[in-house]
Amino acid sequence: MSRPAKLQLPLREGVSASALACPAGAWTSLLEFLCERLPSVSRADWLLRLAAGEVLDERGQVLPADAPYRPGRRIYYWRWLAQEAAIPFEAQILFQDEFLLVADKPHFLPVVPAGRYVQQTLLTRLKKATGLEALTPAHRIDRETAGLVLFSIQAQTRGAYQNLFRDRQVHKVYEAIAPFDAGLSWPLLRRSRMAERSEAFMQMEEVAGGEANAETEIRLLEQHGGLARYELHPSTGQKHQLRVHMNALGLPILGDRIYPRLLPEQSEPDYSRPLQLLARELSFIDPLSGARRCFKSQLSLQLGSAL
């Protein structure tokens, strides 16, 4: 027997329902399965969610707290955290039509729910504000980075926009504030092979040998004292590429807590010291209309403020 089609369930506080398949196993109760499969949620929280009718079966029916485990079914639940600190900055919608939404993301706000962030994410806030259930980011930028994020509105055209980023058909321009080195000539092209560090999964590093998989053109915009504002043009999209390339030049971006040294995770970010990196521009040929699209952030980095 084929599995029923995935249910289209309404948003709850801007959060889409998550689907979870129930494989064959020795669990006797649904609660036992949920506690083992999703241990980041406590048993007490699962009991509260079940009692509140927040876990549904494949027909959209509420599952009770004493429901037996049934392999082969699909269940639905909504992610939420018992405690989630508010991030005191707001995103701005710069553009919206029937296919695309472009938002200006502030520093410190994650793009999608993960770990200790669900409500305090760009995606959840936008879904809550617009009611667009199928809203999906076509690409990502780091939580610490500010600037442009492009979202697909319709599921059936989502792939066309995500493929633009996959196929490097989007011209991206960033700005950064970092130390100044009078011994370097500008502009310069940084090409290297990057890989994840085995001893620190959060960090990437340049490695010797093999074909280059990361390329960034870096231009000097202005310099004052020991700091400068740079314009960065990445032609590839490796994780942390801009941060790694600037650090490899001896110019770590101001406010970077990963490069050159991985600092401990903060229980609450220091909002007075954001990473001085901005996703300033996105331009591409629209795969549906053939029109040239160009979006520019309304945020800015101020060299004087950084000093």
* C-alpha–C-alpha distance, residues 247 and 253, integer Å: 7
Task: State both tokens at 70.
Answer: 């049934």
pLDDT at 306: 62
pLDDT of residue 1: 44
Q: Consecutive sets of 10 residues in the chain, 307 residues long: mean pLDDT of each?
A: 70 89 94 92 91 92 94 91 87 97 98 88 96 94 97 96 96 98 96 86 88 97 95 96 97 96 86 96 97 97 75
**Which residues have CB under 8 Å from 133's CB, separation 6+?**
8, 10, 11, 16, 127
Bond into 88 cis (ω within 30):
no
Quote the tokens at residue 289: 């209309």
Looking at residue 114, what is its pLDDT? 83
φ and ψ of 44, to 5 deg: -65, -40
Give the type of residue at 51.
Answer: A
Q: Supply the pLDDT for residue 271.
A: 94
Q: How far apart are CA 19 and CA 16, in angstroms?
A: 10
**What is the reported pLDDT for 9?**
86
Read off the DSSP letter of residue 181: -
- Domains contained in the chain, CATH given: 17-78 (3.10.290.10), 92-306 (3.30.2350.10)
Would you say the pTM of this structure is higher than 0.85? Answer: yes
Kindly state the tokens that stand for 35.
């506690």
pLDDT at 44: 92
